[in-house]
Structure 1
Amino acid sequence: MKALLYKNNHLSNLLKSFSIFSVLFFLLNPGHLYAQSHKRSRIHIGLVYPLSSNGSNAARDTNDLSLNLIAGVSAAERGPAIAGVSNIIHHDATSVTIAGFSNHLGGNASGALISGVLNTYKGGSGAAVAGLGNIAGGSVSGIQVGGIVNTAKNVNGVQIAGGLNKADSVSSLQVAGFMNLAGNTKGSQIAGFLNIAKKVKGVQIAGFLNVADSSDYPIGIINLVKNGEKSLGVTLDENMTTLLTFRSGGKVLYGIIGAGYNFRNTDAVYAIEAGLGAHTFQSGNFRLNLELAGTTLTKFKRGDFWKTSLRVLPAYKIGSRLEIFGGPSINYSTTNTAEGRDLVKHYISKWDGKNSGNQMGFYVGYMAGVQVHF
């Protein structure tokens, strides 16, 4: 009788232990229960595939929460997914996805993708932030922020990259430290060096060069717009500085770059100019241009003459290519040489820097020129 009671108690304890084990197994590994029916797995915890609570079935499971020390693999993520190195999601992610190195999605991301190096995904409406870059194969309606590069097919949002942004079309804004590439752009492009687009309805701002089929508002030193304007000209100002200039831009804004020689100085004789202009009024062959430009006279050694000029330049076109222009300017100059001090005879106002040794002042001048359009 005692032996029978002992056996019954022992069996009861085994059943209790098995029940507790079953509950723990279910909580930590629900994917085994539902993997074949492809239902959702609540929580996915692991080290690296397949060492996780979803085991070898992880690639077929959809999770509400994924926490993986090294890397996680899943079919889809409906909640946060966090991995020390990488998240590999075969379909969509609808919440925040964070990885120390990279996130890779076969589908769309409607939440946030955040990684230390790289995000690759089909498209989506969330934000993608990566230390190196974001690569989207389809359309993006959120924001891409990459340390080096962002690429997408269509962007209805913002691309911000330290190096390069590339998209077939952009409906909002591209900002790049070096270059933006786009097809049709309804928004604006801002780049440290170069913007390239087809039809631009917004503003192009580049530190040096804008290229487009159509762009009325390019802001850059050189703007190569197919249906815009390009001209070579010769100008002369009040200081006897003669410049060969290249003006280029759209129907409204244009850039100015020039180089030449000053015939009044004996030392600082080499001239360089850069600036921006705008066509403000046009009637027939007559138009009025406003220009803001900076000009320096130098001998490429210590000692220079600098001036910033605001010009009002009436212009008249003779025939289809030749244009003459000229008008007054208001100028601010600064110089640290005796030659530069003698270059301007009449100032509206001038003063000397207390410690720099520079002479600064405002004066009225002029510019006249002729240019050929091509």
Structure 2
Amino acid sequence: MTRPAHVGLVYPISTNGKDAPLYTNQFSLHIIAGVSKAETGAALAGISNIVKENVSGAAVAGFSNHIGNITKGASVAGFMNTVHNKAQGVMVAGFINSAKELKGYQVSGFANFATKGDTSSGQLAGFLNKGDTVQLSISGFGNMHRNAKVQLAGFINTNGNAHTQVAGLMNVAKKVKGVQVAAFLNIADSSDYPIGIINIVKKGEKQLSLSVDETSTTILSFKSGGRVMYGIIGVGYNFKDADTRYAIQAGIGAHVFERPRFRINVEATSTALTDVKKWEYHKQTLAILPAWRLGSRVEVFAGPTFNHVNTKNGIGEDLSGYYLWSGHYRNNKFWGDYIGGTAGVQVKL
């Protein structure tokens, strides 16, 4: 049975009375909450809309929408939207959206959940997205999916097969076709382009490296990544200056040319030297490093580096004997650029 309009206060105080769950309405308006079988137009409620079957228009409620089967339009609620079967339109909630199957978009202030999905779907949440398959997922904290093409999160992404993952701390996936970008850690079965300090790739490469540069800084570093990109993290010691005795280093690298016994690695690193009390010497380096393999596990490398130094109070300023360009600035700051070199050996783990 279909009615052109359904108006009321709260079930069963309405024009459809106690039989409201049996009617399909073209328009509904309730001051507090409405109940219906289905809605083909707009359903508006001050608190909640409760629809037993389908909504093909828009359901708008101050607190929540509860749809028993399928929604093909827009569900907008101040707190929560729940679709017990398929959501084919747009779900917008102040706190949480939940659907059994998503073929549309979910936007919420806190979390989105979809048990199933497809590649045309998208999720945007202030805290968490969780689902099966989506095209794009963006959240302030984390995304958890089985098959998401693009995931963007402030803290963590987990996925089965992914194209792109970007996270503030870490990414976890099986097969990654595109890039993984994380401030700290990437984990994958296969990922050619992980960009992070540590990258644990099952089909990738891990090396322990020992190097020395023109400033007598010796670095022991861990390099980990995929077929092309890798991360670098290391500690070391400077034998030249007591004020810059200890070193920490982090960066990323890429294998840009490769043959069975020879390859060229390009590395961008940032190194800080300190006496533990003061952290005033910082060096950013771009290195081009030809590398030769000695057997299956050992590799030696050496090459030029392009360096930018910024320091304060003269600490480490004389570690380089010359500068292509340099200048002193206010507050005893010094900036300089020079060409140097580094050499070392690394062992495949």
Same structural fold, with TM-score higher than 0.5 when normalized by the shorter chain:
yes
Q: Is the contact between residue 194 and residue 210 of structure 1 (CA under 8 Å) also seen in structure 2?
A: yes
Aligned to 1:205: 181
**Which of 178, 194, 199 is equivalent to 2:155?**
178
Q: Does 1:44 align with 2:28?
A: yes
Q: Counterparts in 2 of 1:275-294, with a 5 A limit?
A: 275-294=251-270
Alignment CA distance shift 1:27-1:254 (3 Å): closer
Q: Does 1:359 align with 2:337?
A: no
Aligned to 1:194: 170
Q: Which has the larger radius of gyration?
A: 1
Secondary structure of 1:106's partner?
strand
Task: Provide the C-alpha distance between the structure 2 equivalents of 1:26 and 1:217, rounded to a whole number of angstroms.
Answer: 57
**Which of 110, 114, 125 is equivalent to 1:136?**
114
Runs of 4+ in 1 over 4 A off after TM superposition: 24-27, 29-36
Query: Any idea what the Cα deviations from partners look like across 1:280-306, whole Å, max 9, x if unmatched?
Result: 111221101111111110123335211
**Which of 224, 231, 240 is equivalent to 1:255?**
231
Aligned to 2:11: none
Q: Does 1:111 align with 2:89?
A: yes
Task: Provide the C-alpha distance between the structure 2 equivalents of 1:161 and 1:267, rounded to a whole number of angstroms.
Answer: 44
Q: Counterparts in 2 of 1:155-166, with a 5 A limit?
A: 155=134, 157-166=135-144
Question: Over aligned residue pairs, what C-alpha RMSD do you find?
Answer: 2.0
Task: Provide the C-alpha distance between the structure 2 equivalents of 1:126 and 1:333, rounded to a whole number of angstroms.
Answer: 50
Q: Is the contact between residue 311 and residue 334 of structure 2 (CA under 8 Å) also seen in structure 1?
A: yes
Task: Provide the C-alpha distance between the structure 2 equivalents of 1:359 and 1:331, rounded to a whole number of angstroms.
Answer: 14
**Which of 307, 313, 321 is equivalent to 1:345?**
321
Give TM-score, length-normalised by structure 2.
Answer: 0.92
Task: Provide the C-alpha distance between the structure 1 equivalents of 2:97 and 2:6, rounded to a whole number of angstroms.
Answer: 31
Deviates more, 1:39-48 or 1:257-266: 39-48
Aligned to 2:274: 298
Aligned to 1:10: none
Q: Is the contact between residue 34 and residue 40 of structure 1 (CA under 8 Å) also seen in structure 2?
A: no
| Counterpart AA for 1:148 | F
**Which of 43, 61, 80 is equivalent to 2:58?**
80
Q: Does 1:67 align with 2:51?
A: no
Deviates more, 1:159-168 or 1:26-35: 26-35
Identity of aligned residues (%): 40
**Which of 54, 65, 69 is equivalent to 1:91?**
69
| Counterpart AA for 2:342 | M
Aligned to 1:272: 248
User: Which one has a larger percent strand, Structure 1 or Structure 2?
Assistant: 2
1:77 CA displacement: 1.3
Structure 2 unaligned regions, length at least 5: 8-13
Q: Is the contact between residue 34 and residue 41 of structure 1 (CA under 8 Å) also seen in structure 2?
A: no
User: Which one has a larger percent helix, Structure 1 or Structure 2?
Assistant: 1
Query: Any idea what the Cα deviations from partners look like across 1:62-112, whole Å, max 9, x if unmatched?
Result: 341111101110022111111111111111111111111111111222221
Structure 1 unaligned regions, length at least 5: 1-23, 53-57
